[in-house]
Structure 1
Amino acid sequence: MGPIIAMGGGGFSMEPENPLLDQYVLKQSGKKKPKVCFVSTASGDSVDYIRRFYRAFKKLDCEPSRLTLFPPPTSDLEDYVMDKDIIYVGGGNTKNLVALWKAWELDRIFRKAWEEGKVLAGISAGAICWFEEAVTDSVPGRISRVEGLGFLEGSACPHFDGQEERRPGFHRLLREGAIGDGVAADDGAALHFLGKELKQVVTSRPRAKAYRLQRRGDRVVERELESVYLGEKG
């Protein structure tokens, strides 16, 4: 199985002047000039979002491409995906993303890509979709649980420090028993899994963190995970 890089926030869409996380994702392919495919399903294939991806990644040592469903680039999505080295999933509505991927069998195709060593990466919705379940704002008005693809065990929450409702929302869902134990990542933090095991946490911001959260009776235990800052220290 290949790596999964789950970013709580950051990357080209949130940190256009800070390419540290995007450069880190590219390095995980082991290729000199990897083929990286941006999947913009969660944003409804936003044209602006896709343009920003190309603007950022054309400056990096890679071959950028995109996979849209409005419309698809080809009738053979599996062949298209398997030709890439990195699948980079953008943010947006996680509930819609999961539903559309299942309708187009992208859940199966991405699992095959992962099992054959391709890099799966993403921000926000593109980070939490790989887990069994996740904390989302896909339904307007409240933080709620959404079912993921189940590649990774447990639950996940993005934007842990970037959106004030995220941390209390995750805690509430855990206390209510509405969601299982899991992990959370601040904006600028990425959880790097190798297969299903968490290898390390890396950050593009000196103070960004990631956490493991567990329900213990009627309380939630939150533990900070060790992290590595990708920029210059001092």
Structure 2
Amino acid sequence: MTRTPTIALLGGGFSGDPDTLLDDFVLETAGRPRPKVCFLPTASGDAPGYIEGFHAAFAGRGWCEPSHLELFRRTVTDLRSFVLAQDIVYVGGGNTANLLAVWRVHGLDAILREAYAAGVLLCGISAGACCWFETAFSDSFGPPVPLADGLGLLPGSLCPHYDGEPERRPGYLAAVNDRALPAGWAVDDGATGVFTDGRLTDVVTRRPGATLHRVSVGRDGSVEEVAQTARQLGA
């Protein structure tokens, strides 16, 4: 069955939320009765505790098949076959710049492009959301700054933790206003945006007020911020 290229930007999930709403939504979005979901913990340096947390959260569901892919302690020889066999690739948070560098050394960046075109659902939180864009407002080097090194599966820029970290919103607005970053999207903690064939097709939230924001430069040359309408999960 042909599947449409889809990316979900997560503002939460198993690693921090008190509920399973966003992760359940991702599993449902895959459109499979028992989706295969692979966790990529590269941005955390393949932290064992992060991997254990993923399996603890997903194995207990009973209606998905969780796995993970380590690159720092790599055991999978045929990355392409392994990744293309998944229904969902779920990328964890951490250091975006390190994640991209390690992926490129192992050739995983090209494999993920192929997986995206084949309809494997790509998703992730923080660094795992930033990586799909051309650029991001990233804290890879300390305080958040523009990072122009993404995979470019989605155009423009992304800012995660938009309402969760005090420096994110003013810094991102200033970066877009100063043309240090192109127009893009900002995701609140608790929200998820789904892009199908590069277009925003759905926004959901696990808590009132959290959403996805479009940030761009208006006709008058000043930065504009537009909150998207979000569906409340679990309502």
Which band: TM-score by shorter chain? over 0.9
Q: Which residue of structure 1 aligns with residue 108 of structure 2?
A: 106
Match of 1:220 among 190, 209, 223: 223
What SS does the aligned partner of 1:171 have? helix
Q: Which residue of structure 1 aligns with residue 95 of structure 2?
A: 93
- The letter for the 1-side match of 2:228 is L
- The letter for the 1-side match of 2:12 is G
Whether contact under 8 Å (1:6, 1:191) holds in the other structure is yes
% identity of equivalent residues: 46
Shift of 1:218: 5.3
Structure 1: which 5+ runs fail to align?
Answer: none
Cα deviation digits, residues 19-73 of structure 1 (max 9, x gap):
0110011112211111100000000001011111011001222111001101123
Match of 1:2 among 5, 8, 15: 5
- The letter for the 2-side match of 1:156 is L
* Distance in 2, Cα, partners of 1:86 & 1:223: 29
Structure 2: which 5+ runs fail to align?
Answer: none
- The letter for the 1-side match of 2:222 is R
- Normalised TM-score (structure 1): 0.95
* Distance in 2, Cα, partners of 1:210 & 1:119: 19
Whether contact under 8 Å (2:69, 2:76) holds in the other structure is no
Q: Which residue of structure 1 aligns with residue 137 of structure 2?
A: 135
* Distance in 1, Cα, partners of 2:176 & 2:116: 29
Q: Which residue of structure 2 aligns with residue 58 of structure 1?
A: 59
Q: Which residue of structure 2 aligns with residue 209 of structure 1?
A: 211
Whether 1:46 aligns to 2:47 is yes
* Distance in 2, Cα, partners of 1:133 & 1:22: 25
- Normalised TM-score (structure 2): 0.94
Structural mapping, 1:67-216, within 5 Å: 67-140=69-142, 142-146=143-147, 147-216=149-218
* Distance in 2, Cα, partners of 1:225 & 1:14: 23
Aligned residues: 229
* Distance in 2, Cα, partners of 1:39 & 1:155: 21
What SS does the aligned partner of 1:48 have? helix
What SS does the aligned partner of 1:11 have? coil
* Distance in 2, Cα, partners of 1:150 & 1:123: 17
